[in-house]
Structure 1
Amino acid sequence: MAHAPQGPSPGPSANLSTPEMCLPFTPEEIEQLSKPRVLIAGGGLAGLTLAILLHRANIPFLVFERAKEIKPLGSAIVLGTGVAPVFQQLGIWEEYTRIGKYYLQMGIFDENLKHSYDMKIDWLKRVVQSREYVVSRPELYNLLLSQIPRNRIHLGKRILSFKQDNDGVLLQCSDNSNYVGDILVGADGAYSAVRQHLYKTMKVDKTLPASDDVPLPFSCVCLVGQTDALDPEEFPALHGETCSFNTVLGSSNMCTWTTFTTKSNTICWMVIQFLTKETSKENDSFRNSQWGPEAAEAMAKEVRHFKVPGGKDGKVLTLGAYLDRTPKNLITKVMLEEIVFSTWYGGRTVLIGDGKRRFYMNPTGGVGALMAMHDAVTLANWISTLRLPSVSDLEDVFKEYRAERYPVVKEAFERSQLFTKNLGKNMLSLFVRACMKRLPAWLWRKLVIKNIIAARPQASFLPLVHDTAKVKPQPQPSLLKTMALHKEMAKKNEKIYGMFQLNDLSNT
């Protein structure tokens, strides 16, 4: 078990003011030893973002990832204004914009490729001095991974359980390894082993709300992948400085599929099937966070005839053209659920990202990844203020974290449910599609500003980025509160350093 190092303790008659007995640690060492040791379960976007922030705050941490090797799985992520300030603080914004391809609009088509409308964001640069960028998930993952010392990331660590008490938390893995820390962060996805074990213990203690003691609602299946680098002459959508970003709404098959062109001349694609009662039963036997390659291949055969925009010289292009150019071992089928848990923490354990909520997001904003990163920023701000935290201290901090993030997550969940009304053949679906098609430009801008670009959080322990955007960032309680705490801590540290220097002078 990994414990924080302990210094020698003076004998009962030791006099710390004598030259023979000096303080065993410098004030800087005492400060570092008092910081909490953080165990992060899950090496996804939420876990890696938190790890980077803790690394910059000089807080000890370890990341535990179940996978034995890092594979470039996934499709595309859309991020920009919502992460620009914190990415600038971390010094990775320029690299992110280099690997990303910005977009100005998303085209919406019906399943016969009849153009319905465009969701434009070409005005974004004028109001926030930034753009929205499409980047392949593997490239974003690698960018984040490059910011973390590799010895802090442990692969092949499947978490079995954990124990927590007033002294700390003990993490137990399937390979019989144990790790000790002060805080356990469950960033290990919708099927979070941390969440499941936390809820199990809370249920025994009769502290788990009945609303959280339910199976995950199985509402969607998703097939994602990314092609190899393609020839722009064969696929003209790859030409141009901006990303060709298109979504097709399949009203007859309850599917929606999206394609994105990337900076590296690949095409990222994703197909989401919204399940009815019947199709949900068909997939119910596969209730797992990820199926094997056979299930992905079976779904790929079912969707390869779906038409996609971008055919050369007006020829019909289908999803099969992209599937055939995507490595089979990098095509992934997963299931998506729609739920927001009300319990986000217990004792020394806290959940972020999909560990506390899971729901489909309209791909126009990449909101799922964005919200996971915002969770990480908020939690990191609070963790950075902790020194030798008790369970009570942690629960106070976790309460602040949830109070800031829960309303945002809940609202996004409600928006995601509305998006499914775009599909189907009933009167409600027809009405929703008609409203979306006729949505006034000013109202669309207002929705984007409120739901996507107004949230631009920053880390309180790093130099702040001066935000000169016309649209002011929405209030960030964790930033203001923890900055004030850091100022108080700095004053206390100055006094301690002063006392230490006086002690040194008296011993010379």
Structure 2
Amino acid sequence: MEINPAVTFKHDRSVMFAKRPKVLITGAGLGGLTLGMLLHKANIPFDIYERATEVKPLGSAMYFNCTTANFFKQCGIYDEFVALGKLVSSIQMCNEDRQVEFSIDFSDHEKQFGANGYIVPRPQLYELLRSQIPKERIHLGKKVLTMDQGGNGVLVRFSDGTEAEGDILVGADGAYSAVRQGLYAKLKKGKKLPASDALPLPFSTVCLVAQTRPLSAEEFPDLALEECQFRNTIGTEKMYAWATLTTSQNTICWGATLFLDEETSKENDAFRTSEWGQEAAQAMCEDVKDFPIISGHGKIFTLQDMIDRTPKELISKVMLEEKVFKTWYHCRTVLIGDACHKFNPQGGVGATNAMHDAIVLANLINGLPLHPIVEDIESAFSAYKNERFEWVNEAFESSKVHRTMIGQSMASKLTRFFTKHIPVWLFKRIQERACSYRPQVAFLPLIEDAGRVKPAPQPSLHVKAPVERKQETNPNTTTITTTATAVDEPVQSTTTVV
């Protein structure tokens, strides 16, 4: 297919075959898989292209609560999700003497917001989402080289010499998105890219993440407890914080975060583009091996005990970039997840926001008219950004607060002091804001929200699919998607995750 930006379709949809737009998704991460799963349920044609030749079960654990519970229920996977997860009712903030200094309590979330929160190992959640998508729709070893778009479609070329054609391109390919880089290069050439979007991704921390092999309660006594033991330890005189989390798989998800100064930033810059890789992981293990952790029943454990019980290939050193881009779409191309907003994971909002992006974007793609032209598509993309942008910025600020809380600066100490002594009424108010955004899928049966705190407005929930019957009876009628408006009072989950 030859892409011609000047071509504009001006067709009569009433006499054309009822064609829904084909969506090309680059990146088979959680955001890309969520979008693919929803498009599959909506009977919208799609394909997912992943640059890796195989998906490795790397990473630690993620926290999901009421902000995704209704969505999981709509998709019929909530029970499986809960079976994979372990209930979290608090996060314990500890010191190097293996003492709990204070806890952040979530025990009333089910009554207040309709669902509890659970810790789920990243590999298990990934496989759950992947199982919902036909295998033939996921293509591995597809590294994006170039992409072109115009009035008559979008064309993606891959490093293996193959090409893919479609109507919409979704960049869900991570913090160093090839789709974003290709899109931005062309916008910059045309002087249409904001200056801030051209700057490199900033980062202030690096993290070691891993998950042990299955252990017994004799090895790690806290595994016998029904609830997840989620512990964050703050270094006394070191630029580190570290955490351990027990899972329902009898594993320990663990991680160590290094806060960078000018010198260590230069040392770690070489690994900027290493996502979930093993580069320098073993060297960082040496740096953190003596850090104390709590295992239960008075056992004296350090991170070395976790390292010894973790397969070496499942230990990764990753960069923790932080940025919200201003440009999320142009023409037929749109970005979701880390490709347009990258959070420090201490806020626990990265994966949740990628899923929220996918929910809203799926609602709006489903609402596109048959044979959508560029104007239709850009209108939907604009509605997507309008609904998500303020929520994303709120989540971004929340993640920065949580990153600050586990640091060593004066601001870090003040943040911990405030959190430890926060009045109950104020903490509840913050939690109400943090858990009010609970989006659902417009084209699946809605879930009655059981929370005492009502969910926040969701404009995309009211977007409807084109009504073909009306088009057949009235050839001059075209279904047009209504542009959504921005959501008021943006908020997001503030729970910490490794």
TM-score for the superposition, normalised by structure 1: 0.88
Q: Does 1:460 align with 2:442?
A: yes
User: Could you give the per-residue CA deviations for residues 92-133 of structure 1, whole angstroms, max 9, x where no partner exists?
Assistant: 011111111111111111233232101111111222331101
Match of residue 198, structure 1, among 183, 192, 195: 183
In the TM superposition, residue 218 of structure 1 has moved relative to its aligned partner by 2.4
Q: Distance in 2 between matches of 1:239 and 1:335?
A: 33
Note the 1:53-202 alignment, pairs <5 A. Answer: 53-202=38-187
Q: Percent identity?
A: 49
In structure 2, the CA distance between the partners of 1:224 and 1:491, relative to structure 1 (3 Å rule), is same
**What's the CA shift for 1:246?**
0.9
Where do 5+ consecutive residues of structure 2 fail to align? 4-13, 476-498
Structure 1 ranges of 4+ moved more than 3 A = 423-427
| 1:489 aligned partner, one-letter code | V
In structure 2, the partner of 1:492 is 470
Q: Give secondary structure in 2 for the equivalent of 1:117.
A: strand
Q: 2:451 aligns with which of 434, 457, 469?
A: 469
TM-score of the two chains, using structure 2 as the length reference: 0.89
Supply the distance in 2 between the matched residues of 1:461 and 1:128 (Cα, whole angstroms): 23
Structure 2 residue corresponding to 1:403, chosen from 386, 389, 399: 386
Cα distance in 2 for partners of 1:494, 1:124 equals 48
Say which of 327, 337, 340 aligns to 2:321.
Answer: 337
Q: 1:96 to 1:424 in 2, by over 3 A?
A: closer
Deviation at 1:424, TM superposition (A): 4.6
Task: Give the letter aligned to residue 84 of structure 1.
Answer: A
Farther off after superposition, 107-116 or 274-283: 107-116
- Residues 277 and 318 of structure 2 are in contact (CA less than 8 Å); yes or no, is this contact kept in structure 1? no
Alignment of 1:95-494 (within 5 A): 95-290=80-275, 292-311=277-296, 313-363=297-347, 366-386=348-368, 387-451=370-434, 453-480=435-462, 482-483=463-464, 486=465, 489=467, 492-493=470-471
Q: Which has the larger Rg?
A: 1
* C-alpha displacement of 1:230: 0.1
Secondary structure of 1:73's counterpart equals coil
d(CA) in 2 for partners of 1:320, 1:361: 23
Q: Pick the structure with more helix per residue.
A: 1
- From the superposition, tell whether residues 449 and 362 of structure 1 become closer, same or farther in structure 2 (CA, over 3 Å): farther
Kindly provide the CA deviation profile for residues 372-416 of structure 1, in whole angstroms up to 9, marking residues without a partner as x: 100000000000012211111111111110011110111111222
1:353 and 1:371 in contact (8 A); partners too: yes
How much is the aligned-residue C-alpha RMSD, in angstroms?
2.2
Q: What secondary structure is seen at the aligned counterpart in 2 of 1:163?
A: strand
Compared CA separation, residues 45 and 172, structure 1 to 2 (3 A):
same
Aligned pair count? 466
Hey, what's the Cα distance between the residues in 2 that align with 1:466 and 1:285? Answer: 49
Shift of 1:145: 0.4
> Is the 1:186–1:194 contact (alpha carbons within 8 Å) kept by the matching residues of 2?
yes
Which blocks of at least 5 consecutive residues in structure 1 are unaligned?
Answer: 4-25, 498-508
**1:360 counterpart letter in structure 2:** N
Separation in 2 of the partners of 1:160 and 1:467? Answer: 44
Structure 2: distance between partners of 1:438 and 1:210: 41
Could you tell me whether the CA contact under 8 Å between 2:271 and 2:279 is conserved in 1? no
Change (3 A) 1:370 1:251: farther
Q: Is the 8 A contact 2:113 2:451 kept in 1?
A: yes
> Aligned AA for 2:335?
L
Contact (CA 8 Å) 1:274, 1:420: kept in 2 or not? no
Q: 2:234–2:407: 8 Å Cα contact kept in structure 1? A: no
